[in-house]
């Protein structure tokens, strides 16, 4: 055996991990700013409207979910969505991606994980903590992006992006997660 791990198959939960990390660690450093290095915290864009990286059709395109796209997707006519920030953990998400009606956003808004006081919650599909987590029907947690990446997963309430039904994931896919969980982004290998 060569010691080189097998790559996850397309659609496996681990395929979402590199994308998830790139979305979580993407930094926008202002041009020409002095004294800010790579570890500097990017400025908050909460309250601004920007274009989400995940197309709305990704939330409903699966074999399991055949419902048409909802008429009101929390995305403006110009394709932008309000960026919101959790008052406790500072998670920044698009209102449309996380399923929050923009009119419900206020200074004290908290993400699902913080509202549930689930401080150590990790995604049951990729085993990473933090990020845009939503609760599953069996009271576990899953990243929104991981839920989109796995074909058998669906949002029971597409507009609110929760709860997330993971019950149709075959046992073979769960075995992939267990066998390959050491393949986390950033690990040398």
Q: How many CB atoms lie within 10 A of CB 141?
A: 22
pTM: 0.67
- Residue 112 maps to a domain: yes
**92 burial type by CB count under 10 A (0-12 exposed, 13-18 middle, 19+ buried):** middle
pLDDT of 81 strictly over 80: yes
Identify the band that residue 164 occupies on the pLDDT scale cut at 50, 70 and 90.
Answer: very high
The secondary element (H helix, E strand) that includes residue 134 is strand 133-135
Structure confidence at residue 118 (pLDDT): 95
Domain count along the chain: 1
Of the chain, the percentage scoring pLDDT greater than 70 comes to 61
User: What domain range is 51 assigned to?
Assistant: 46-180
Q: Is 81 part of a structural domain of the chain?
A: yes
Q: Is residue 2 part of a domain?
A: no
Residue 166: pLDDT over 90? yes
102 domain-assigned: yes
Let me know if residue 83 belongs to a domain: yes
In this predicted structure, what is the pLDDT of residue 103? Answer: 78
Q: How far apart are CA 171 and CA 189, in angstroms?
A: 26
* In-domain check, residue 21: no
| Residue 136 resides in a domain | yes
More confident residue, 13 or 134: 134
Q: Tell me what pLDDT residue 182 has.
A: 42
Asked if residue 19 has pLDDT above 70, the reply is no
Tokens 């908290």 map to which residue?
Answer: 110
CB 63 within 8 A of CB 151: yes
DSSP state of 118: -
């Amino acid at each position: 055996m060569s010691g080189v791990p097998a790559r996850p198959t397309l659609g496996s939960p681990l395929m979402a991990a590199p994308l998830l990390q790139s979305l979580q660690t993407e930094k926008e450093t202002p041009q020409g700013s002095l004294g800010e290095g790579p570890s500097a915290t990017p400025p908050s864009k909460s309250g601004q409207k920007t274009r989400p990286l995940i197309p709305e059709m990704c939330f409903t395109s699966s074999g399991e979910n055949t419902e048409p796209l909802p008429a009101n997707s929390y995305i403006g006519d110009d394709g932008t969505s309000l960026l919101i920030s959790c008052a406790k953990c500072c998670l920044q998400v698009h209102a449309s991606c996380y399923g929050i009606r923009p009119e419900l956003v206020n200074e004290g808004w908290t993400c699902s994980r913080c509202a549930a006081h689930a401080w150590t919650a990790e995604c049951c599909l990729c085993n990473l903590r933090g990020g845009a987590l939503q609760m599953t029907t069996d009271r576990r947690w899953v990243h929104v992006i991981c839920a989109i990446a796995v074909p058998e997963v669906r949002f029971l309430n597409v507009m609110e992006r929760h709860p997330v039904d993971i019950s149709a994931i075959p046992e073979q896919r769960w075995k992939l997660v267990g066998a390959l969980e050491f393949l986390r982004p950033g690990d040398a290998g």
